A and B are shown apart, each in its own frame.
Chain A
Amino acid sequence: MSGKLSRRDFLKYTGMGSAAAFAATYGMPLGTALAQAPPGDTAGHLVIYNFGGTEQQRMFGNAIARFNERYPNVLVEDLYIPWPEGWGHYITNLKLRAASGLKTDIIAIAIEGTRETIFEDLVLPMDDAIAADEELAAIVDEVEPVLHNALKGADGQTYYFTREWNNMIIHYNPVKFEEAGLDPPAVDWTWEDFLETASILTTGEGGDKQFGFAIPFFNFGLTPWWHTNDTSTLTADWSQSNLDDPKMLESVKFVHSLVHEHGVAPSVEGVNPYELFPAGTIAMTGAGRWPFDTYVTTGYKDVDITPWPRNRKGTTVFGSGGWAVSKTTENVPLALELIKDLAAFETDLEAVAVGTSLPARRSATENELFNSFPANAHRFFGSLEDIKPVPSPANFAEVESIFMRHMSQIMANSVTAEQGLEAAHIELSAAMDKLAERLADG
Chain B
Amino acid sequence: MQKSGLLPELTPKRREAFVGYMFILPTYIGFSIFILYPLIESVRISFQEFSLLRGSTYVGLENYVQMFADARLRIAYINTIIFTLFAVFFNAGIGLILAVMLNRRLPILMRNLYRSVFFFPVLIAHTYIAVIWRFLYQQDTGVINYYLGVFGVEPIPWLSNAHWAMAAIIILDVWKNTGFAMLVFLAGLQSIPNEYYEAAQLDGANERQLFFRITIPLLSPTIFFILVIFMIGALQVFDTIIVLTQGGPGDATRSVVLYVYEIAFRTFNMGYAAAVSMTLFAIILILTALQFWISRRWVHYE
Q: Do chains A and B touch in the complex (CB under 8 A)?
A: yes
A297, B131: Cα distance in complex, Å: 20
A206, B137: Cα distance in complex, Å: 15
A246, B139: Cα distance in complex, Å: 30
When distances are taken between beta carbons in the complex, the residues of chain A under 8 Å from B247 are 405
> Does any Cβ of A come within 8 Å of B236's Cβ?
no
On whether A92 and B268 interact (CB within 8 A), knowing A99-B52, A411-B249, A412-B250, the answer reads: yes
**Is A270 within 8 A of B268, CB to CB?**
no
0/1 per residue, A385-410, Cβ < 8 Å to B? 00000000001011011001110110
Interface residues on B, range: 35 or more
0/1 per residue, B282-296, Cβ < 8 Å to A? 000000000000000
On whether A408 and B265 interact (CB within 8 A), knowing A207-B146, A272-B134, the answer reads: no
> Does any Cβ of B come within 8 Å of A266's Cβ?
yes
On whether A281 and B141 interact (CB within 8 A), knowing A89-B265, A95-B52, A414-B252, the answer reads: yes
On whether A86 and B266 interact (CB within 8 A), knowing A269-B160, A270-B158, A414-B250, the answer reads: yes
**Is B265 within 8 A of A414, CB to CB?**
no
**Is B52 within 8 A of A269, CB to CB?**
no
A401, B258: Cα distance in complex, Å: 12
> Does any Cβ of B come within 8 Å of A38's Cβ?
no
The distance from the CB of A110 to the nearest CB of chain B, in whole angstroms, is: 15
**Is A412 within 8 A of B249, CB to CB?**
yes
- Which residue on chain B has the smallest CB distance to residue A86? B266
The distance from the CB of B66 to the nearest CB of chain A, in whole angstroms, is: 13
On whether A96 and B52 interact (CB within 8 A), knowing A86-B265, A269-B159, A412-B161, the answer reads: yes
Q: In residues 108-154 of chain B, which contact A (Cβ within 8 Å)?
A: 134-135, 137-142, 146, 149-150
Count chain A residues whose beta carbon lies closer than 8 angstroms to a beta carbon of B: 42
> Does any Cβ of A come within 8 Å of B245's Cβ?
yes
When distances are taken between beta carbons in the complex, the residues of chain A under 8 Å from B262 are 401
> Does any Cβ of A come within 8 Å of B162's Cβ?
yes
> Does any Cβ of A come within 8 Å of B62's Cβ?
no
**Is A211 within 8 A of B266, CB to CB?**
no
> Does any Cβ of A come within 8 Å of B209's Cβ?
no
When distances are taken between beta carbons in the complex, the residues of chain A under 8 Å from B1 are none
Candidates A89, A120, A211, A397; contact of B53 at CB < 8 Å: A120
Candidates B146, B149, B249; contact of A269 at CB < 8 Å: B249
**Is B248 within 8 A of A95, CB to CB?**
no
When distances are taken between beta carbons in the complex, the residues of chain B under 8 Å from A211 are 140-141
**Is A266 within 8 A of B138, CB to CB?**
yes
The distance from the CB of A217 to the nearest CB of chain B, in whole angstroms, is: 10
When distances are taken between beta carbons in the complex, the residues of chain B under 8 Å from A281 are 141
A404, B53: Cα distance in complex, Å: 28
On whether A412 and B160 interact (CB within 8 A), knowing A269-B249, A270-B137, A398-B267, the answer reads: yes
A272, B132: Cα distance in complex, Å: 12
**Is B265 within 8 A of A88, CB to CB?**
yes
**Is A206 within 8 A of B139, CB to CB?**
no
> Does any Cβ of A come within 8 Å of B99's Cβ?
no
**Is B249 within 8 A of A414, CB to CB?**
yes
> Does any Cβ of B come within 8 Å of A276's Cβ?
yes
On whether A266 and B249 interact (CB within 8 A), knowing A88-B265, A411-B160, A414-B162, the answer reads: no
The distance from the CB of B132 to the nearest CB of chain A, in whole angstroms, is: 11
**Is B53 within 8 A of A270, CB to CB?**
no
0/1 per residue, B265-278, Cβ < 8 Å to A? 11110000000000
A409, B245: Cα distance in complex, Å: 12
Given A267-B140, A269-B249, A401-B266, output 8 extra A-B contacts at Cβ < 8 Å.
Answer: A120-B53, A207-B146, A211-B141, A266-B139, A269-B245, A405-B251, A412-B157, A414-B250
Which 3 residue pairs across A and B have the least CB separation, nearest first?
A409-B250, A269-B159, A266-B140
A sample of 8 cross-chain residue pairs with beta-carbon separation below 8 angstroms, ordered by A number, consists of: A92-B268, A267-B157, A397-B267, A401-B266, A401-B267, A405-B248, A412-B249, A413-B160
